[in-house]
């Protein structure tokens, strides 16, 4: 892509799948287009120490975000490990909030976690390989406990 610089960011696999579903395959940084882009733009920084090694984070996937050359000159195109973690946490909170709300709505209409999970996975673009069913079930259970909602009966979970 001419006029753009690619930034590779370490992310969790389910965050990568969600970003591709939400923002498309080519992630072009355009301020005001989406709250995720605005957050990423606020975390970018200039490389003030050329001897400093690139940030390393132990996440299972990478995404490539394209930023225009003018934005790169203005904001920079580097992310340290703290900023990468903050970006992942921000997107994860958005994703989980959406997951919990969708699951709440679906369960009120049609009880049953497993049946509704297929619908939620399709809408969020997350496969079993990206975020396991057990992990999603635990996360949803914890959110219901945290929000003082009644827990699902055993027959509603399956």
Predicted confidence (pLDDT) at residue 70 exceeds the cutoff of 90: no
Tell me the C-alpha distance between 120 and 14, whole Å: 13
Alpha helices in the chain (DSSP H): 13-23, 35-43, 69-75, 81-109, 113-124, 133-146, 154-157
Per-residue DSSP letter, 139: H
Query: pLDDT-based confidence at 69, cuts 50/70/90?
Result: confident
Tell me the C-alpha distance between 77 and 71, whole Å: 8
pLDDT tens sequence across 118-155: 999 999 999 999 999 999 999 999 999 999 888 776 55
Mean pLDDT, residues 96-106? 95
Predicted confidence (pLDDT) at residue 66 exceeds the cutoff of 60: yes
> For position 45, what pLDDT does the model report?
81
**Assigned token pair, 37:** 């882009």
- Domain-wise residue ranges, the chain: 4-88, 94-157
Tell me the C-alpha distance between 149 and 12, whole Å: 28
Task: Specify whether the CB–CB gap between 4 and 68 falls below 8 A.
Answer: yes
> For position 26, what pLDDT does the model report?
85
> For position 158, what pLDDT does the model report?
46
pLDDT tens sequence across 5-40: 888 999 999 999 999 998 888 888 776 678 888 888
> For position 56, what pLDDT does the model report?
66
How buried is residue 80: exposed, middle or buried, by Cβ count under 10 Å (0-12/13-18/19+)?
Answer: middle
Kindly report the backbone phi and psi dihedral angles of residue 54, in degrees, each rounded to the nearest multiple of 5, phi listed first.
-65, 150
Predicted confidence (pLDDT) at residue 157 exceeds the cutoff of 60: no
């Amino acid at each position: 892509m001419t006029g753009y610089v690619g930034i590779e960011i370490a992310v969790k696999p389910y965050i990568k799948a969600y970003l591709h579903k939400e923002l498309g395959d080519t992630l072009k940084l355009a301020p005001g287009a989406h709250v995720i882009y605005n957050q990423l733009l606020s975390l970018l920084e200039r490389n003030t120490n050329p001897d400093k090694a690139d940030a390393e984070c132990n996440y299972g996937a990478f995404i490539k975000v394209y930023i225009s050359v003018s934005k790169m000159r203005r904001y920079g195109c580097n992310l340290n490990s703290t900023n990468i973690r903050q970006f992942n946490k921000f997107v994860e909170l958005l994703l989980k909030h959406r997951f919990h709300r969708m699951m709440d709505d679906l369960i009120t209409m049609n009880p049953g976690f497993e049946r509704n999970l297929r619908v939620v996975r399709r809408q969020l673009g997350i496969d079993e390989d990206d975020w396991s069913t057990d992990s999603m079930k635990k996360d949803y259970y914890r959110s219901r406990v945290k929000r003082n909602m009644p827990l699902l009966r055993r027959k509603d979970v399956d």
